Chains A and B, each alone.
Chain A
Amino acid sequence: MFLFYASSIFANDKKLDKETTIFDETFSWQVMAGITVHKSSTILKDIEQDSVENFLDLSLLIDLYYRGFFIQSNHRRASSLTLGVEFGYQLMVNDEWELDIINKSYLSGYAPRYLWANDEDIPPLFQGLADRDSADGIGIRYSRYYDNAELSIDLATLPPRSASGGWIANLYYTHLVPYRNWDIYYGAELTYFSHQVLDYYIGIDSDEALAIRPEYQATSGFKTQLEVFAQHPISKKWIFNTGLSTSYYSASFQDSPVVGQSNETQLMVGIIYVF
């Protein structure tokens, strides 16, 4: 229902379709709905995809711009499923670079009661573990645009948006290679997490400690990600997309009792309907 509701709202504003600077009063939008099949792994122990819903994802992708304020979905990234939308405001803009205030999720949260369908299925390692909310940060983003590439640097603080303390620095580079009707994006990302952030997400407090889950105080750490993502038009309204991303997490992640591996891989195939 929300999908239809959202599309009808935005359709009313369809004529307001362009903007060029932050001082314009025009309104721009793009709404897309996507269905994706994905095979994903996670660094957390004891978590497997074991039912159809785990492999399928339905998403409503919204891009919106009004007077410098924007909402943008990550529909050109393989990991768009977990990243969600970004909210922001453009402080300075020109053709070559841009400075924004940005609000986005840098790390997915997790909660045992949502990770397993029934409470009795929760493995002993995760029983009694407090929920970890997603790492929503607010910060500054500098983006540099090249002919077929983009480089962006984020510096974000998690308080007051998140339950966690600390800060995050993110460096992201993406390069577009057009081939026939395909758009192929190659991307690389490096994210630094301060010790407060990691301690909240993968640290084990004294009141959570068990024999199989000893107390753990995390230090700062980083994550690297490489990805390739491709889009191909099916018709004027439909796009096929596929992507592969692989991430590596540093030692401070790996040393946590709830973390089982240092790599995450996600393979996705999907279609997007453009309203």
Chain B
Amino acid sequence: MYFRLGKGFAWLISIFCFLVYSHGVLAQQQETNKDIKVQTNTKIQFSATPTNCVALRQGRKCFAKVALSWQVTKPGDFCIQQDKKIIQCWKNSRGSQVFFEFESEQRMTYQLVASHHKKIIAETAIDVSWVHKATPRKRRWRIF
């Protein structure tokens, strides 16, 4: 009942499914490329998961549960920092993972630091993107 819908409905469903599928494949490819980018150094691996946080609107704080993972070939003392603020340190370790709540309206970069000589040995980042661009107007209900 309700409304008669012709064969056009099936066509629209097919088109929509194709769009969903094609976008999913594309997004997966982009994600893979990002992983490769942060893991170019074969001796030190330092990566963030996820690498991107999506907010509804530009300028809005983005929230995500993220994991930073690192791995090195030779054990040592290491710290992860962000803007010179220590997030976590490990002693005599070859690798570990730290989980935390990401909360930012812009890209954040994280560094893996060798504690003894305070040298940054690897870097990774979490990008912030959005669905809608920021509007010049105060109100939020219309796109414009």
Contacts and interface: CB of A to CB of B under 8 A. Distances in A.
Given A35-B16, A181-B62, A231 B56 contact: yes
B2 A95 contact: no
Interface string A162-183: 0000000000001010101101
B120 interface: no
A58 B12 contact: yes
Nearest to A98: B139
Interface residues of B, number: 36
Interface string A73-102: 000100000000000000000010000000
B54 A63 contact: no
Contacts of A17: 133
A30 B4 CA distance: 29
Interface string B41-63: 00000000000001110001011
A93 B132 CA distance: 22
Interface of B: 1-5, 9, 12-13, 15-16, 19-20, 23, 27, 54-56, 60, 62-64, 129-133, 135-144
User: 10 closest pairs, A vs B, by CB?
Assistant: A180-B63, A30-B143, A54-B2, A145-B139, A233-B54, A53-B5, A28-B144, A63-B143, A58-B12, A65-B144
Contacts, number: 106
Given A28-B143, A236-B129, A237-B23, A181 B63 contact: yes
**Which of A28, A53, A115, A271 has the most CB atoms of chain B within a 10 A radius of its CB?**
A53
A20 interface: yes
A120 B56 CA distance: 48
A45 interface: no
A235 B27 contact: yes
Contacts of B2: 47, 49, 53-54, 115
A117 interface: yes
The size class of the interface chain A forms with chain B is: 35 or more
Contacts of A233: 54-56, 130-131
Nearest to A234: B54
A43 to B, nearest CB: 14
